[in-house]
Chains A and B, each alone.
Chain A
Amino acid sequence: MSLFARTLKPATALARLSRQSARFYASETAAAAPAAGKLVVNFALPHAAILKGTEVNQVDMSAVSGDLGILADHVPTIEQLKPGVIDIISDSGSAKYFVSGGFAIMNPNSVLNINAIEAFKLEDLDPQAVATNLAESQRLASSAKDELTKEAAAIEVELYEAIQTALSGKSK
């Protein structure tokens, strides 16, 4: 990035352009290194940023490759998220979000980026609505005529069952 910027500097018009649309490598995104044992989390949805550069202790998530808990200095990885709970554990306690799916990207410098399409706090979900929608999706998954609708209903059943598990675990 720095080399690229230097070569553009003499041409002022181009320099302005490069300032406006400055591009960075992923390794440059962390503004400040987190304190020892801390993890910096960016948690973004298309319409909102839930966390932006927040220091936490641990993040638990359920990925396609299995459930995992991420601590500071975790090995870099990219995980596809299943519909499931993201548990963000900081000094002030734990915040549980249910995500519809997305990706978690662990960077080499203790920065964790989570991207999801939709996420709600567990207490913002309506258990009654989950039960009725689960029943409807189960009905469709077994009786729908075309293959795509059937598969879509199966995806929903998996999601609603995951919500029910998450909500019942919370009351324990």
Chain B
Amino acid sequence: MTFAWRAAGMNYLQYSSIAARALRRVAKQELQAEIAKRQGVAVKYAKWDSGKAGVSAAIPDVETRPKADN
């Protein structure tokens, strides 16, 4: 079974963080201050070969709102 988001070239980390961000956005206002503290998690990866790290790259976030709203 292939998911539409995977067919579009997204990976599970991107998919799950889009969903998490979308859910945080609709929590009640009084919870938003607490939520802001756990926003902005990023993943970086590098492929190691013969004991040497390759180029480090970030898995980019797929944003659907202007930065300030996220």
Distance of A151 Cα from B10 Cα, bound (Å):
9
Chain A interface helix/strand/loop/mixed: helix
A102: CB under 8 A from chain B?
Answer: yes
| CB of B16 closer than 8 Å to a CB of A | yes
Q: Which residues in window 1-59 of B have CB below 8 A to A?
A: 1, 4-5, 8-10, 14-20, 22-29, 31, 38
Binary CB contact string for chain A from 117 to 130 against chain B (1 if under 8 A, 0 otherwise): 11010001110011
Contacts of B10 in A (CB 8 A): 148, 151-152
> A56 to chain B: closest CB distance in Å?
23
Known A126-B27, A148-B62, A149-B62: A100·B38 in contact at CB below 8 Å: no
Interface residues of B (CB under 8 A from A): 1, 4-5, 8-10, 14-20, 22-29, 31, 38, 62-65
With A100-B16, A101-B15, A155-B18 known, 8 other A-B pairs at CB within 8 A are A100-B19, A101-B20, A117-B17, A126-B28, A136-B65, A147-B9, A151-B10, A152-B10
